[in-house]
């Protein structure tokens, strides 16, 4: 296992990002100060200092779930820490490094949403406008009335996919690893049936919503959505180890390998994979350092004007529920989770052989990026649960002591 103290680059990331964006002519680099209500919430839920021994133990267990590696970066006003366990490559036994790239899965959606909200802030797109206004002829008439906001919040009601391969076993994943999909082919898999519910009435998390949003980015910017993300976010923030691979199945430079345990118990390297099936919603490649830097800039209001930043932390009305009846938890780009009285906002990401969790408290007390490489298709959340418990343990007690 490795451990590193916080670097000065990590500690000054937000200020550097602000200066870079100002120089690039982006959104004015003005940090969003917490409101009075947010300050009161901060005081009530003040987090305890980090416990490195507990964090080390949380990621050292690579048997629950089975995994080949894990790394965790924690930053914020209540402490910082980095640790890693396992190996980046089982063939060489090389240890994991902070600049190792990995497939971040649905964390892609936060980058797409940020670009859309930047465009909305410049009045290049109306969030309440139907998607059919911007992408004419792509969807049936009923679906074309879905608004941009519905797509951002996962309340579109689009039907289930028809025609995508069923990847139920590790062998299925291996068999389809070189399949190539175009965005329009992906959209066509949901145009065969009526809407599942009236848009805006139910929240159902669907990747296809962000495929359509990425197409919208391309229509509005006149360039590939990955290029627009690079221009608007990656280059100004100097996220040099983050990219959108398109059809390229390989990870370039230093990276963590992903593996799957086959039905015959053999371990197969699944790192090389054409990510086009997740175009626009799950293909991002990044590092724990880059994702932490991005999240800090986003939460400090560097990337968006205040009114658009607020949309990142605004859930649909209480009447909008998930299909299972639970409360809606997705905003326009982020998801909300509360543990031990501490509310985090961020995003999870899944890929074959890789899991990513990127979250922060809104008041900047605690921000973390967790990346690990489970070897089963549907791993339990034991490792994530251990990490989050270690990061929030004692918060309820501190809140009670202050009451």
Q: Is the peptide bond before 65 cis (omega within 30 degrees of 0)?
A: yes
User: Nearest-CA neighbor of 73 among 97, 105, 49, 46?
Assistant: 97
Assess contact for 282 and 351: CB atoms under 8 A.
Answer: yes
396 — pLDDT class (breaks 50, 70, 90): low
CA 289, CA 17: separation in Å to the nearest integer?
13
* Torsions phi, psi for 123 (to 5 deg): 60, 30
User: Taking the CA of residue 126 as centre, how many other CA atoms within 13 Å lie in the half-sphere pointing to its CB?
Assistant: 8
pTM for the model stands at 0.91
Rounded mean pLDDT of the chain? 90
Assess contact for 225 and 234: CB atoms under 8 A.
Answer: no
User: Nearest-CA neighbor of 367 among 77, 109, 104?
Assistant: 77
CA 331, CA 115: separation in Å to the nearest integer?
15
User: Nearest-CA neighbor of 392 among 40, 38, 3, 54?
Assistant: 54
CA 139, CA 40: separation in Å to the nearest integer?
46
Assess contact for 308 and 298: CB atoms under 8 A.
Answer: no
- pLDDT over 70 percentage in the chain: 87
pLDDT at 119 over 50: yes
**Per-residue tokens: 388:** 């989050």
Q: Domain count of the chain?
A: 1
Return the pLDDT at 248: 96
Go through 156-167 and write b for each residue having 16 or more CB atoms within 10 A of its CB, e for each that does not: bbbbeeeeeeeb
Domain that holds residue 193: 2-402
pLDDT at 391 over 70: yes
pLDDT tens per residue across span 28-63:
334 444 555 554 444 346 798 999 999 999 999 999
CA 18, CA 229: separation in Å to the nearest integer?
17
Return the pLDDT at 5: 52
> Residue with structure tokens 């190792």?
100
pLDDT tens per residue across span 219-246:
999 999 999 999 999 999 999 999 999 9
CA distances from 88 to 85, 97, 268, 305, 401 (A): 9, 8, 14, 39, 43
pLDDT at 319 over 60: yes
Planar angle of CA 51, 388, 395, nearest 5 degrees: 65
CA torsion 76→81→86→88, rounded to 10°?
60
What residues pair up with 371 in beta bridges, in sequence order? Answer: 71, 356
Return the pLDDT at 10: 41
Q: Residue 154 belongs to a domain with what CATH number? A: 3.40.710.10
pLDDT tens per residue across span 354-369:
999 999 999 999 999 9
Q: What is the 3-state secondary structure (H, E, C) of the chain?
A: CEEECCCHHHHCHHHHHHHHHHHHCCCCCCCCCCCHHHHHHHHHCCCCCCCHHHHHHHHHCCECCEEEEEEEEEECCCCCEEEEEEEEECCCCEECCCCCEEEEECCHHHHHHHHHHHHHHCCCCCCCCEHHHHCCCCCCHHHHCCEHHHHHHCCCCCCCCCCCCCCCCHHHHHHCCCCCCCHHHHHHCCCCCCCCCCCCCECCCCCHHHHHHHHHHHHHHCCCHHHHHHHHHHHHHCCCCCECCCCCCCCCCCECCCEEECCCCCEEECCCCCHHHHCCCCCEEECHHHHHHHHHHHHCCCCCCHHHHHHCCCCCCCCCECCCCCECCECCCCEEEEECCEEEEEEEEEECCEEEEEEECCCCCCEEEEEEEECCCCCCCHHHHHHHHHHHCCHHHHHHHHC
């Amino acid at each position: 296992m490795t451990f590193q103290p916080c670097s000065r680059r990590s500690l000054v990331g937000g200020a550097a990002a602000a200066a870079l964006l100002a120089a690039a002519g982006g959104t004015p680099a003005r940090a969003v100060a917490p409101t009075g209500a947010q300050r009161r919430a901060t005081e009530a839920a003040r987090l305890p200092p980090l416990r490195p021994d507990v964090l080390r133990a949380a990621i050292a267990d690579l048997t629950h779930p089975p995994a080949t590696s894990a790394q965790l970066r924690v930053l914020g006003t209540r402490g910082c820490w980095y640790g890693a366990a396992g190996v980046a490559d089982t063939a060489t036994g090389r240890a994991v490094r902070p600049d190792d790239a990995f497939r971040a899965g649905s964390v892609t959606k936060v980058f797409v949403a940020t670009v859309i909200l930047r465009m909305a802030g410049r009045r290049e797109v109306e969030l309440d406008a139907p998607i059919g206004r911007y992408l004419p002829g792509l969807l049936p008439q009923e679906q074309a009335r879905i608004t941009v906001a519905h797509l951002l919040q996962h309340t579109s009601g689009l039907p289930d996919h028809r025609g995508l391969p069923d990847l139920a076993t590790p062998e299925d994943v291996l068999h389809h690893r070189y399949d190539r999909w175009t965005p329009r082919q992906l959209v066509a898999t949901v145009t065969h049936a009526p809407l599942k519910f009236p848009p805006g009435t139910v929240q159902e998390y669907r990747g296809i919503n962000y495929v359509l949003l990425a197409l919208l980015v391309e229509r509005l910017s006149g360039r590939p959505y990955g290029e627009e993300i690079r221009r608007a976010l990656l280059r100004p923030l100097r996220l040099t180890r983050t990219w959108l691979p398109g059809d390229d199945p390989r990870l370039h430079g230093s990276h963590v390998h992903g593996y799957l345990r086959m039905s015959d118990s053999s371990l197969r390297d699944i790192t090389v994979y054409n990510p086009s099936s997740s175009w626009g919603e799950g293909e991002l490649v990044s590092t724990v350092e880059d994702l932490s830097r991005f999240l800090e800039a986003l939460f400090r209001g560097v990337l968006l004007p205040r009114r658009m930043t607020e949309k990142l932390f605004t859930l649909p009305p209480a009447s909008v529920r998930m299909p299972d009846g639970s409360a809606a938890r997705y905003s326009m780009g982020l998801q909300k989770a509360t543990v031990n009285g501490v509310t985090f906002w961020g995003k999870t990401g899944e890929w074959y052989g890789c899991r990513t969790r990127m979250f922060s408290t809104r008041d900047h007390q605690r921000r973390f990026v967790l990346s690990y490489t489970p070897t089963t298709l549907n791993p339990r959340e034991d490792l994530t649960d251990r990490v989050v418990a270690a990061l929030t343990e004692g918060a309820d007690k501190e809140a009670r002591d202050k009451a």
